[in-house]
Chains A and B, each alone.
Chain A
């Protein structure tokens, strides 16, 4: 379950070592924007050393590496693959060839250090107009792909528009990314909300993302974790309804009914699929103790 992905600057030991206790489902050690060019080597070595020595129970580990258009990405891969994070997050991904180049380099490093080839996944950051337009090809580019992740700050610069709290300017990109990810059978993650102190705005933004089909959302502040986790968790009412769906189906079967309804609405295949997703999410979050 990946409701929240919390960014932590890759060269800040104080934040990195406490990353596991902030409540996020995933933590992203950032070697890219959060690290100045002069400190790329330092951050790479620090993240590698911490991941080799420390465990982060209950947290999935993601490392955001530098873009393929920089001189840093190959060294990032060489330093990080041996410590086996769950996922690498490449940035400014604009086409399938980008993913294939990266995946080949990862395979080389996995083989060098005896890690099963393909066992480290990819969650690319789509933050260019070309990346959004190529979203489906990117999502299908490699067997490592587990999700697409939207980055709205660079995207709006590329769109030549202003990033707003309402997010009308990224509505198409959000929808296109979700559709591409779902068509490819992988997950979709939303861009962070950048108003660190605006928790009301955060909740509205997270609810909008959820309504569009996103699985979860990246966050840039530990203060945002609780809200985003809550929004992307099934509610008690959702769980009750999902259980009622399966109970009604059982009852219909017992009575030999061909069609079953619940609360005046027909239970068809999409309703069952949604109910199953809700119960699977609840299981993943609470381990069967459904609130």
Chain B
């Protein structure tokens, strides 16, 4: 499944994450996080799992994490992907 348009979800507030997605030929994931050193690997796992569940195989995904829990990060990814695919 491909992302057809640029979309953003979430905020840069504490405990949240801002996720952007845009069309791309392959799946590229960029992560910025205030806790990258401690939880970078776990965040990447969460992101990859969420994208797999959403069926996203090609997109440029950027995450600016502000200490979001996994369930918050997954929700923001889902919103961004739905918006990027034009789903309400």
Contacts and interface: CB of A to CB of B under 8 A. Distances in A.
B70 A53 contact: yes
B71 interface: yes
B78 A45 contact: yes
A75 B70 CA distance: 23
B81 to A, nearest CB: 10
A49 B19 CA distance: 16
Given A41-B83, A52-B71, 6 more contacts: A13-B13, A17-B15, A41-B79, A50-B72, A53-B69, A54-B71
A4 B81 CA distance: 37
Interface string B3-16: 00000011001111
A72 B74 CA distance: 22
Contacts of A14: 13-16
B33 to A, nearest CB: 15
B63 to A, nearest CB: 14
A35 interface: no
A12 interface: yes
B34 to A, nearest CB: 13
Interface string A1-42: 000000000001110010000000000000000000000011
Interface residues of B, number: 19
A186 interface: no
Contacts of A86: none
Contacts of A49: 71-72, 74-75, 78
Interface of B: 9-10, 13-16, 68-72, 74-76, 78-79, 82-83, 88
A46 B78 CA distance: 9
A54 B15 CA distance: 14
A173 interface: no
A53 to B, nearest CB: 4
A52 B71 CA distance: 8
A6 B70 CA distance: 24
Interface residues of A, number: 15
A45 B15 contact: no
Given A49-B71, A75-B88, A13 B83 contact: no
A13 B79 contact: no
B18 to A, nearest CB: 11
Interface of A: 12-14, 17, 41-42, 45-46, 48-50, 52-54, 75
A48 B14 CA distance: 20
Given A12-B13, A14-B16, A46 B83 contact: no
A72 B82 CA distance: 16
Of B9, B16, B75, B88, chain A has the most CB atoms within 10 Å of the CB of B75
A17 B83 contact: no
Contacts of B71: 49-50, 52-54
Contacts of A54: 69, 71
26 contacts: A12-B13, A12-B16, A13-B13, A13-B15, A13-B69, A14-B13, A14-B15, A14-B16, A17-B72, A41-B82, A41-B88, A42-B9, A45-B78, A45-B82, A46-B72, A46-B75, A49-B71, A49-B72, A49-B74, A49-B78, A50-B72, A50-B75, A53-B69, A53-B71, A54-B71, A75-B88
Contacts of B14: 14
Contacts of A41: 79, 82-83, 88
Given A13-B15, A14-B16, A17-B15, A42 B72 contact: no
Given A42-B9, A48-B75, A17 B16 contact: no
